[in-house]
Structure 1
Amino acid sequence: MHQNDLPLISVIMPVYNGERFLAEAIESILAQEYTNFELLILDNGSTDGTPDLLSHFARLDSRIRLLHEPNPLGYGGEVASNIATKQAKGKFIAKLDSDDIATPDRLAKQAGYLMDHPDVFLVGSQLTLINERGQVTGTRLYPLTHEEIYNEFYLRFPIANPAIMYRNDLSEDLYQIRFPHFNDYYSLFRLLQEGYRVYNLPETLTAYRVHTTNTVFTNLRTKWRSNVAIKKAFVHEFGYSPPWIHQLKIVAITWVINLFPEPMLIKSMNKARQLINA
């Protein structure tokens, strides 16, 4: 499909005190091969140099629209994303975190897939992992088909939330705020339960930056409890039946998290995930 046939895309980027990596994230969107997009950036009460950096980029490119919330909204940017989405004009909405990088062909490939597959509501991709200096450290691979994604939902979040694109036709917020953390995990599973179909492209279209200030790598025990509570909701609210081996793996990860002191948990948890492919 020719890129000129693709509709307007709204890219949603919430940011809180993100000046360290923000320029790279914005530049990766401005460098997209497909150019019919708007970039909605919601400054979520930043107190660092983020506002000045955003003003600079907005002066350079009229496709950037700045939104502002005076106080941090919390919940890992999910509330901010809901607010920004209400302002989105695009037929499709793409997410990108303010410390990640989109490949130049990301918007074109994901929008093209949604145009060619009208039965699919949301499309993700694989991830390249990068460190604080932008060096590639690995990949994070996800299942492709709707059925494979559904079958892995108890074991892990089988969709990379910073790499999704979806249709802008929901009658309610994408992110339902029910838990202290990881409401994206709960919300996307809820969509599947409601009959929305999803797919992950096989390409790595987003570089996910792993660094010590990632929100996912702070207060690990507290966040893991939220993760487990969400898994229990899958079972008790929606009647999800996870494979026994997935249940066993979650027990193993919980054991690791409870065993080590908090400062050691990032390294030990990542090692455990690699060993059991979670």
Structure 2
Amino acid sequence: MHQNNVPLVSVVMPVYNGERYLTEAIESILTQQYSNFELLILDNGSTDSTPDLLARFARVDSRIRLLHEPKPFGYGGEVASNVAARQAKGAFIAKLDADDVAMPDRLIKQVNYLISNPDVFLVGSQLILIDETGQVTGKRDYPVTHEEIYSQFYLKFPIANPAVMFRNILKEDMYQIKFPHFNDYYSLFRLIHTGYRMHNLPEALTAYRIHTTNTVFTNLRAKWSSNVMIKQAFVREFGYSAPWIHRLKIAAITQVINLFPERMLLKIMNKARQLINA
């Protein structure tokens, strides 16, 4: 599918030392059913073979645009995503991390949804969970409707940031950098609170890879502290009223995190979140 009358999609992919999974991530975009896209890959100071891999891909597919920043920005790729998105030419911007995999129909389904729903700013999806070898280990479910998404924002991040597509209409950066971690969580709430409608498709359109070097799963106690600070900002800055049961669940998770040693937290946290659906 490559026609002049279909909108261009800019796929933004920040990468830092991503040689292990980068090929699979890139190929999952190049083989999309929807072909009218540009793939903006920002190499943020990689010191492994990432630059060579990117150069080889760019030589054989003109839809790839390579960007380079010599010093890592940090912040989980959010600053790098902002920098890349400023160069986007598409009507829509899609996110994909360099260790994840897009399903072949991801772009076409999200484009069709945004075209059919002009009042919606951002569309996400459910997630398939995969391990280091690409084997499916589970699924992560997200609320579908705008109202459900808003109501669950205090309890959890109800949008899978690596699976979003949104309209290229913002006059400022998508991700506002205010906290040590999870500025995507804060930024999307800020947008939805100010009237930007959001929706999650019921299908799992992205495979999210869980592995030992995934930044989400390191330094967990400090990251949970950022998570709680962001939730408090929802209340303080925006007057968000969280259901008491959601506040109780977050307090319970916080107690668990403060009780156990850091090395045990990942397994315990995942189990606790499953049990209380947070």
Give the shorter-chain TM-score range. Answer: over 0.9
Answer whether contact 1:3 1:108 (CA < 8 A) is retained. Answer: no
In 1, the alpha carbon distance for the partners of 2:67 and 2:120 equals: 29
Q: Which moved more, 1:226-235 or 1:210-219?
A: 210-219
Answer whether contact 1:16 1:72 (CA < 8 A) is retained. Answer: yes
Percent of residue pairs identical: 77
Alignment-derived partner of residue 89 in structure 1? 89
In 1, the alpha carbon distance for the partners of 2:53 and 2:198 equals: 35
Alignment-derived partner of residue 226 in structure 1? 226
Answer whether contact 1:114 1:120 (CA < 8 A) is retained. Answer: yes
In 1, the alpha carbon distance for the partners of 2:68 and 2:196 equals: 31
TM-score of the two chains, using structure 1 as the length reference: 0.98
Aligned ranges 1:160-199 → 2 under 5 Å: 160-199=160-199
In 1, the alpha carbon distance for the partners of 2:187 and 2:159 equals: 12
Answer whether contact 1:6 1:112 (CA < 8 A) is retained. Answer: no
Alignment-derived partner of residue 214 in structure 2? 214
- Secondary structure at the aligned position of 1:173 is classed as coil
Aligned ranges 1:92-111 → 2 under 5 Å: 92-111=92-111
In 2, the alpha carbon distance for the partners of 1:6 and 1:122 equals: 18
- Secondary structure at the aligned position of 1:10 is classed as strand
Q: Which letter maps to 1:14?
A: P
Alignment-derived partner of residue 147 in structure 1? 147
Alignment-derived partner of residue 67 in structure 2? 67
Aligned ranges 1:28-39 → 2 under 5 Å: 28-39=28-39
In 2, the alpha carbon distance for the partners of 1:222 and 1:148 equals: 28
Report deviation, 1:212. Answer: 1.2
In 2, the alpha carbon distance for the partners of 1:21 and 1:260 equals: 32
Report deviation, 1:57. Answer: 0.7
- Secondary structure at the aligned position of 1:20 is classed as coil
Q: Which runs of 4+ in 1 moved over 3 A?
A: 2-5
In 2, the alpha carbon distance for the partners of 1:28 and 1:40 equals: 14
Q: Which runs of 5+ in 1 are unaligned?
A: none
- Secondary structure at the aligned position of 2:110 is classed as helix
In 1, the alpha carbon distance for the partners of 2:194 and 2:247 equals: 24
The answer on 1:266 being equivalent to 2:258 is no
Q: Which letter maps to 1:91?
A: A
Answer whether contact 1:6 1:115 (CA < 8 A) is retained. Answer: no
Q: Deviations over 1:34-91 (max 9, x none)?
A: 1000000000111111111111111111100000000000000000000001100000
Alignment-derived partner of residue 123 in structure 1? 123
In 1, the alpha carbon distance for the partners of 2:20 and 2:252 equals: 35
Q: How many residues align?
A: 277
In 1, the alpha carbon distance for the partners of 2:101 and 2:193 equals: 30
Q: Deviations over 1:86-124 (max 9, x none)?
A: 100000000000000000000000011000000000000
Report deviation, 1:3. Answer: 7.4
Q: Which letter maps to 2:163?
A: A
Q: Which letter maps to 1:72?
A: P
- Secondary structure at the aligned position of 1:109 is classed as helix
In 1, the alpha carbon distance for the partners of 2:132 and 2:102 equals: 16
Alignment-derived partner of residue 51 in structure 2? 51
In 2, the alpha carbon distance for the partners of 1:259 and 1:55 equals: 47
**Measured at CA, do residues 150 and 53 of structure 1 come closer, stay the same or move farther in structure 2, by a change above 3 Å?**
same
In 1, the alpha carbon distance for the partners of 2:202 and 2:162 equals: 16
Report deviation, 1:193. Answer: 1.1
In 2, the alpha carbon distance for the partners of 1:6 and 1:277 equals: 39
Alignment-derived partner of residue 255 in structure 1? 255
CA RMSD of aligned residues (A): 0.9
In 1, the alpha carbon distance for the partners of 2:263 and 2:47 equals: 26
Answer whether contact 1:150 1:192 (CA < 8 A) is retained. Answer: yes
Report deviation, 1:6. Answer: 2.6
In 2, the alpha carbon distance for the partners of 1:33 and 1:259 equals: 48
Alignment-derived partner of residue 158 in structure 1? 158
TM-score of the two chains, using structure 2 as the length reference: 0.98
